[in-house]
Amino acid sequence: MISPARALLDLPPFGLSQAHKQSRLLPMLRALTEHHAERCSPYRNVLNGVFGGAHRLRVDRLEDVPFLPVTLFKTHVLSSVPESEVLKVLTSSGTTGQQPSRVFLDAETASVQSAVLVKVAQHFLGKERLPMVILDHPGVVRDRGSRSARGAGILGMAQFGHRPFYALREDMSLDEEGLRAYLQQADGRRVLLFGFTFMVWQYLVQSLERAGRRLDLPGGVLVHSGGWKKLQEAAVDPRTFRERVQAATGVERVINFYGMVEQVGGVYFENPIHHLHAPIYSEVIVRDPVTLEPLPDGAPGLLQVLSCLPTSYPGHSLLTEDLGVIRGVDPEGTGMGGRCFEVLGRVPKAELRGCSDTFAARA
Amino acid sequence: MTAEPRTPLSETPPWHAVADRVRILAPAQDPVGLAAFLDATRDAHAEPFAAARMDTLARLSAALLADPVLRRDPASVSVAYWLRRAQLARLAEEQARRAAAEPDVLRVPVGRVLHLAPSNVDTLFVYSWALAYLCGNASVVRLSQESGVVVEALLRVIGSVASEDSELRTSNRFVTYGHDDAITAALSAWCAHRVIWGGDEAVAAIRPLPLPSHASERVFGSKYSFAVIDAARYRAAPEDERARVASGFFNDLFWFDQMACSSPHVVFWIGAPEAAESAARDFERALQGEIGRRRFQPPVASAVQRRTYAFGLAASADVRVVLEHPGFVGVHLRDRSALDKDVCGGGLFRHLPIARLSEVLAFVDEGDQTLTHWGLDRDALREFAALAGARGLDRLVPIGQALAFDVVWDGFHLVDDMLRRVRVQGA
């Protein structure tokens, strides 16, 4: 199957109003649902067992599109293409010790994925490949066999930079000397920085602040992703984070990024009013975590993400374990159509204590 | 109670080396360290069912009910009720009746009991300990290091009763320590009876640690439990009876996050598939009604966890998952092939239609503990239990009684475990 997203590749990635976008996405997601129901038997089983039958589904709104819990990719093989057509398997594990998710990409899905990522990233970063500083150590992407989600995320972003420089040493200390040398070579060009939110904070911002030094990166952009939990614990809100990053590095923009390996095409960058913004290929729905009823804008709940990209595996509609809230629709002043939202954190893990843990070790 | 050692300690007992690695949770502020306590209690004993000890437990019952945290925790309220004077008196009477049947047997305490408490059922250690105490023993109760608010509150109350009760204070220690076989081994060397409150992993880890040659041991491995309902009778039952069943099942299901050994994970419906299905749907509606009536708010984490689990079941097999009830997830199976004994917890159960009760036999094994039932006759249940026989099942009780504590547990009389029978025959 040709990915429905191809039909949107000629449009600007935020170039449809919410109403228009929904009317484009609805038939695509309907077609993807049918496509995966035919080709992926665990997915078909779920439609039959949970959603009342693959052939009796009525999908009149995006909210009607059946979904899978994102963690199902950790426990089940969910693929809609023959093994011979699998080009690559993306893996990630949210936390150590868990089974990793496995996401099967064929040539079509992989190629649309990178096309969409480029389109969305270019909207925020421009077309030029910028000198890039990665706030991590090079070892994190070295070992292909056991690549972590962190490594995969870095490689995904690294394609937007030119000759990236890894600014941390293996012990997570900032290689300030090497960094300054790299920046000197960049010779005043705009620089792209990328790192995980907490690492940016701890190993770049705090490290520079402690040393009483700052970088000078006018026009620079920091893209950061990853959970806020540790920063919340340190009582650092997004605004404080931005201001302190800007003070320590001189970058012009700080852009948060949200996405997950389980859903290609679900790439959410922070818009100019500081909310994550759904591009035309994807949609975000907030549901009551217990009843699963879709919630109105402004009400916090469980995030469901939709994408018209994946044809090789049934990841077009996923219920995440992240809590979030819709913050706006076609927001004024951004020039961007569609919904924007905020991620509020992760649903707390169920601490179900087994019958067998008088002495059982807990992770 | 006597506490004077009859024989001097010939060598330093093993617990002296580990005592400082054990944290005493209750009683609080006792100047006597753990090593001295263990030394002193080697020869301590009291009379079984002594009036003073029954008084202490009755006082504890009142104190538990007065505690602001515990009186809102139904499982703790249950413990408190079980410790009421009238209940203890019933237990003592039962014991007296049993003793009367054996006039030449004298029951004396086993002496020293080591309890290794489970962490999935907060209140269980109180029952285990109270029985040992009632029977005249000294106890060391090892609790998990990650106790929650309920356990903390229980210990606080026990500690406060102990502060005004020297017998309670001098014969019991509630302790915690990390994974340390050396400590468990040293405490095992002290005890005359060791109780391992499961499950399988804990039993496997602790059972190899040696006991004194004359000590006994009771272990409780992981157990599995389920319910059986007669579909036709259920469908014919009036609304208020169904509400009672729902209320009972609510307790069975939600106490201890459905992670107790007695928590049901399957409801077998006796009847034709259509009748069973229809009864199961009615049952779910009544249960959700009960959840609403009690204004029970399931933790979001449990809701997410059980839903994910249900999707996993649906992906792998031909089952129907009912998500319409926010308080729980019902998974409807068509036949036994999709049924296993994997445990989800947090409010998920499977429904399976069966033609007759005896079909459950194929599912029963030694790891099964409680069958809760509704609409079944006593004779049919006795016949079923006899047929299951050595293969399994320890209790068959009405729905609503799954978590009620009983001195007969997993097939053993716990009072008997805490006592030694001395045959006394005159000339």
- CB contact (8 A) between residue B304 and residue A291: no
The CA distance from B253 to B109, in Å, is 36
- Residue A363 pLDDT > 80: no
Q: pLDDT digits over B355-366, tens only?
A: 999 999 999 999
For A316-325, A351-360, B113-122, B329-338, which range has the lowest pLDDT when averaged over its residues?
Answer: A351-360
| A350 part of contact set with chain B, CB < 8 Å | yes
Q: Helices (DSSP H) in B217-376: which residue ranges?
A: 231-236, 239-254, 273-293, 300-316
First to last CA, chain A: 43
Residue ranges of domains in chain A: 4-115+258-345, 129-189+192-250
Residue in B closest to A42 by C-alpha: B315
Residue A97 — very low, low, confident or very high, per pLDDT cuts 50/70/90?
A: low
**For position A356, what pLDDT does the model report?**
38
Domain contains B143: yes
Distance from CA of A326 to the nearest CA of B (A): 20
> Which chain A residues are closer than 8 Å to B312 by Cβ?
72, 75-76
The verdict on B212 and B326 lying in the same domain is no
Cβ of residue A69 closer than 8 Å to a chain B Cβ: yes
Q: What is the domain-level CATH number for residue B63?
A: 3.40.605.10
Lowest mean pLDDT across A114-128, A232-246, A345-359, B199-213: A345-359
Structure tokens at A171: 């012990």
Model confidence at B391: pLDDT above 90: no
Whether chain B has a CB inside 8 Å of the CB on A293: the answer is no
Which residue of chain B is at minimal alpha-carbon distance from A69?
Answer: B308
Closest CB from A72, A321, A352 relative to B259: A352
Who contacts A284 (Cβ-Cβ below 8 Å, separation ≥6)? A268, A278, A303, A304, A305, A306, A324, A326, A339, A341
Answer whether B300 sits within 8 Å of A358, measured CB to CB. no
Q: Is residue B313 within 8 Å of residue B323, measured between CB atoms? A: no
Cβ contact B265:B225 at 8 Å:
yes
Strand (E) or helix (H) holding A1 = none
Question: What is the per-residue pLDDT for A149?
Answer: 65
Instruction: Establish if A215 touches chain B: CB-CB under 8 angstroms.
Output: no
DSSP state of A168: B
pLDDT at A320: 95
Residue B10 lies in a domain: no
B333 & B392 share domain: yes
Count: domains in chain B: 2
Q: Kindly tell me the sign of the dihedral angle through the C-alpha atoms of B48, B49, B50, B53.
A: positive
Any domain includes B342: yes
Cβ contacts below 8 Å, chain A against chain B, sum to 135
C-alpha A160/C-alpha A147 separation (Å) is 20
CB < 8 Å to B334, chain A: none
Indicate the residue of A75, A290, A352 with minimum beta-carbon distance to B326. A290
Residue B388 banded pLDDT, cuts 50, 70, 90: very high
One domain for residues B282 and B177: no
**Spatial CA neighbour of B86 closest among B107, B61, B123, B67:** B61
Nearest Cα neighbor of A68 from A258, A279, A260, A275 is: A260
B113 and B206 share one domain: yes
Averaged pLDDT, A353-358: 42
Whole-number mean pLDDT of chain B?
A: 93
CB within 8 A of B166, min separation 6: which ones? none
The C-alpha atoms of residue B284 and residue B286 are separated, in whole angstroms, by: 5
**Would you say residue B132 has pLDDT above 90?**
yes
* Residue B117 at interface with chain A, using a CB cutoff of 8 Å: yes
CATH code of the domain containing B285: 3.40.309.10
- Total Cβ atoms within 10 A of residue B93: 11
Please report where in the chains the tokens 């007695």 appear, as a residue: B262
Q: Are residues B215 and B233 in the same domain?
A: no
The pLDDT value recorded for residue B7 is 52
- Do B242 and B210 lie in one domain? The reply is no
Contact B33, B19 (CB under 8 A): yes
Question: CA geometry: angle at B412 spanning B169 and B124, to 5°?
Answer: 45
Q: Do A351 and B222 touch (CB under 8 A)?
A: no
DSSP string, A220-249: -EEEEES--HHHHHTT--HHHHHHHHHHHH
Q: What is the mean pLDDT of residues A171-182?
A: 91
- CB contact (8 A) between residue B305 and residue A350: yes
Residue B71: its pLDDT value, please?
A: 93
Query: What is the CATH T-level fold of the domain A4-115+258-345, as seen in this structure?
Result: Rossmann fold (3.40.50)
User: Domain limits at B127?
Assistant: 15-221+410-423
Dihedral sign of CA atoms B128, B129, B133, B139 in order: positive
CA distance A321 to B305: 10
- Tokens representing B153? 């509150």
Q: Is the pLDDT of residue A297 over 80?
A: yes
For residue B402, list chain A residues with Cβ-Cβ distance below 8 A.
Answer: none
Chain B contact for A359 (CB, 8 A cutoff) = yes
Paired tokens of A154:
């870095």
Residue A362: what pLDDT? 29
Q: What is the mean pLDDT of residues B350-378?
A: 95
| Contact yes or no for B312 and A75 at CB 8 A | yes
* DSSP letter string, A297-347: TT--EEEEEEES--SSSS-SEEEEEEEEEEEEES-TTTT--SEEEEEEEEP
pLDDT at A265 over 90: no
Residues 6+ apart with CB under 8 A from B14: B185, B186, B189
The three-state secondary structure class of A276 is: strand
Pair B205, B247 in one domain? no
Residue A346: count other Cβ atoms within 10 Å of its Cβ.
16
- In chain B, pLDDT over 90 holds for what percent of residues? 85
**Best residue in B114, B115, B120 to probe A by mutation, most A CBs within 10 Å?**
B120
DSSP 3-state percent helix, strand, coil across chain B (nearest 5) = 45, 20, 35
Question: By the 8 A CB rule, do A103 and A307 touch?
Answer: no
Amino acid at B215: A
Name the residue type at position B102: E
Is residue B56 a part of any domain in this protein? yes
Chain A nearest CA to B388, separation (Å)? 23
| pTM for the predicted model, two decimal places | 0.88
Q: What is the mean pLDDT of residues B117-141?
A: 94
Sign of the torsion angle spanned by Cα atoms B347, A284, A199, A114:
positive
